[in-house]
Amino acid sequence: QVQLVESGGGLVQPGGSLRLSCAASGSIFSIATMGWYRQAPGKQRESVAVISRGGFTNYADSVKGRFTISRDNAKNTVYLEMNSLKPEDSAVYYCKAAGVVGSISGTLGDYWGQGTQVTVSS
């Protein structure tokens, strides 16, 4: 009913930058919160950054000062600008849309994207 498609992942050298994008599609009226989560092999999925519809943001301590989350409400799209990347940033990054309200069906709930691989290596 609602699809999230991530893009922008890839291989980058330490100290480099990547920009991830996630677009939500479907008959969507609004999305309360959008965020990025990541999961490295052998580890639990963790929150990286979240942003509310009004622009309030929260970041994991490990990425503060390096990553910036933003969103375009008109496009139902969230972005993650990642700078000064480190090998420990390597993970599958997942997009999440929470509190999705459909323009036709009403309250729809939460949705996850399929993930995009980010690898930081020389």
The reported pLDDT for the residue numbered 96 is 98
- pLDDT at residue number 77: 97
Q: How many angstroms from the chain centroid is the CA of residue 63?
A: 13
If the chain, 122 residues long, is cut into consecutive pieces of 10 residues, what is the mean pLDDT of each piece? 95 98 96 98 97 97 98 96 98 97 92 97 94
Going 64 to 73 to 101 to 39, the CA torsion angle's sign is: negative
State how beta strands 10-12 and 116-120 pair: parallel
pLDDT at position 47 is 98
pLDDT at residue 63, as a whole number? 98
pLDDT of residue 1: 83
Number of Cβ atoms within 10 Å of the Cβ of 15: 11
Residue 60: its pLDDT value, please? 98
What CA–CA distance (Å, rounded) separates 114 from 57?
23
